Amino acid sequence: MKVISTVFAALALLGSVSATAGDYVIHAGRLIDGNSSKAMEQMSVLVKDQQIVGIEKGYVAAADGQEVIDLKNHTLMPGLMDMHTHLDINPNPAEALTDAFLRDEADRALRATDYVEDVLMAGFTTVRNLGGITSLNLRDAVNAGYIPGPRIYAAGTAIATTGGHGDKTNGLSRTFSHLIGPPGPTEGVVNGPYEARQAVRQRYKDGSDVIKLTVTGGVGSLARSGDNTQFMADELEAIMQAANDYNFVVAVHAHGAEGMKRAVEAGVHSVEHGTYMTPEIMNLMKKKGTYYVPTISAGKWVAKHADFYPPMIQPKAREIGPKIQGAFARAYKAGVKIAFGADNGVFPHALSSHEFVYMVEAGMPEMEAIQAATVNAADLLRISDKLGSVEVGKLADLVAVEGNPLENIELMTDVKFVMKDGVVYKNQ
């Protein structure tokens, strides 16, 4: 793995990356704090242990014991947050189809250690991982300091319906599917409100942080439809009742309009993809305060690489993929709340930050695109008290790019400095 020396030192000392959290004065040529609509010039951010302890105008001198980090030619900002990741998969559909037969979950988790480091080095210090039981193990390994990676809010196994997007038995022969039997709530497949409640409670038992539902068809599943409605209203209502009891944030995979509408009416917290979102749904999301997580990157990737997928998936990739950026443009213009999410795992993990470029291409100002990945994402995850902005008392998650991303958003694709919990993971 591509682990830098500070991480090795941390593991050697205590088995925890927190061991290398230090006492720093960061001289930033430009500071985007996440809250203000404008950047501040020539600022100093003081970090001690895991926290931001001071923010001062100008380049203040280091006190005894403090180390200066020179970012005078850079723009410093809060650690980035990606609200839609799949850390334990890679963009190889053929391999994904054979994984269940050829690899154990441990194999997938070990392979993913490189993926989580790629995400961290791209500047994403916090992610919401939406699907995959191994993501719980990856989260725990990162938290324990065994591997470097972002702070992971893990959904564990997504919740689907029989034959729906997320039913892992899709694509199997009827003989083999019948042999292993139909998956149930424990495996994340439900039918009816009682099983829906059970699935939420199973996610709590598994240790999930958030809930992921697949309320419509999807591009990547071996099923004909990419947008058909796949949950009844009573099932969604039962899920939200149980999820609210456990204080879960609920994200829904949705391409089709009717599935989206039912989910938003039931009270879900974010809609992912949103390909066929209508003005009616946009207004409903505004009324409900529902976030939209667009995943434009995934749409562009699957459309460009449609021939790479199995024949059943190719038409969906060509049809749905190109539409997501347009849906985002309309939703942004309509005033729907936006949180950053790229859907990495569908595409290579290190490329998540290209989502900023696509959002700006679609009409979102550069500052708002950055805020979508900082303060907005923190609000969606309900962690604004500790992350999402550069403020005294918050955790020292900080990233920097060389130059001014408010003038050139493509700079976000080349993060030069990464600090998470006061630990420097990258400083180029």
Instruction: Report the pLDDT averaged over residues 280-293.
Output: 98
Confidence of residue 222 (pLDDT cuts 50, 70, 90): low
CB 168 within 8 A of CB 160: no
Alpha-carbon span 126 to 352, nearest angstrom? 13
pLDDT score for 99: 66
Task: For residue 291, give the H/E element and its range.
Answer: strand 291-293
pLDDT of residue 7: 41
Contact 53, 184 (CB under 8 A): no
Is residue 244 pLDDT above 90, yes or no? yes
In tens, the pLDDT along 16-50 reads: 343 467 899 999 999 999 999 999 999 999 999 99
Q: Which domains does the chain have, with CATH numbers?
A: 5-78+390-427 (2.30.40.10), 80-381 (3.20.20.140)
Please give the pLDDT value at position 320: 81
Q: Over 60: is that where the pLDDT of 8 sits?
A: no
DSSP code of residue 216: B
For residues 175 and 146, the answer to whether their CB atoms sit within 8 Å is: no
Average pLDDT over residues 267-290: 97
| pLDDT, greater one: 223 or 425 | 425
E runs forming strands in 310-422: 337-338, 398-402, 415-420
In order, the DSSP letters of 25-39 are: EEEEEEE--SSSSS-
pLDDT of residue 101: 65
pLDDT at 3 over 50: no
> What letter does residue 307 receive in the DSSP assignment?
G
Task: Using DSSP bridges, classify how beta strands 80-85 and 40-48 pair: parallel, antiparallel or unpaired.
Answer: unpaired
Torsions phi, psi of 381, nearest 5? -80, -5
What is the reported pTM? 0.91
Task: Give the model's pLDDT for residue 19.
Answer: 42
Top-ranked range on mean pLDDT: pick from 215-229, 239-253, 343-357: 239-253
Distance CA 77, CA 163 (A): 43
- Taking only the tens place, the pLDDT of each residue in 357-399 is 999 999 999 999 999 999 999 999 999 999 999 999 999 999 9
Per-residue confidence (pLDDT) for residue 315, from 0 to 100: 76
